[in-house]
Structure 1
């Protein structure tokens, strides 16, 4: 599963409305995101307008292409574009993707030995005396 994180800059004078819009995303948009492979998708907004998005998907390019083929995404992106600073592309194409440099579970898995049947202790017979 690919983990993707991205940033955009929301206009500070539009932050309240941006938050309101995302409190009630259109059901059709929610279904489209789900159906095109956007899972565990979250947006975080800092008080200066920095928006950080996170999602998990088998293939980010395929997830973006899937959304690009939907009518609801075109409508949503057109409405959301006015909320962002210096954005020449639709928001879902103009974000800055961040490189993942650390993931706890990946590193733990790399350092945790896998258990096998021979790793478990073998019961021993107790001396009845």
Structure 2
């Protein structure tokens, strides 16, 4: 059975348009890495009042998402996005897990 992972991230003020632009131009090699890791149907939503980003992704049963942080393309993406969002020292975006409360199938 596929799994769903949802989490929150945080944008810095004044960067909404740039964040959107960069995702509109997401690198093909990053898309390939995400798909190879078993991630699909990945969406990110913005709460404009708080600048919180809410991400929801589906994972295949044999996903390899835990290997993504070691990939050079993932590290380059995080470094490129670090100026726009709250991150850890290694530029990985800070994530706050979201607890499932309701699902309509």
How far apart, in 1, do the equivalents of 2:69 and 2:56 lie?
Answer: 18
- 5+ residue gaps in structure 1? 106-129
TM-score, normalized by length of structure 2? 0.85
What is the DSSP-based 3-state SS (H/G/I as helix, E as strand, rest coil) of the residue aligned with 1:12?
Answer: coil
State the Cα RMSD in Å: 1.9
How far apart, in 2, do the equivalents of 1:34 and 1:66 lie?
Answer: 12
| Number of aligned residue pairs | 101
Structure having greater relative contact order (Cα 8 Å, sep ≥ 6): 2
> Which structure shows the higher helix fraction?
1
Give 1:58's aligned residue.
Answer: 60
- 5+ residue gaps in structure 2? none
Instruction: Give the CA deviation at 1:46.
Output: 2.1
Which of 1 and 2 has greater Rg? 1
What is the DSSP-based 3-state SS (H/G/I as helix, E as strand, rest coil) of the residue aligned with 2:42?
Answer: strand
TM-score, normalized by length of structure 1? 0.71
How far apart, in 2, do the equivalents of 1:9 and 1:56 lie?
Answer: 21
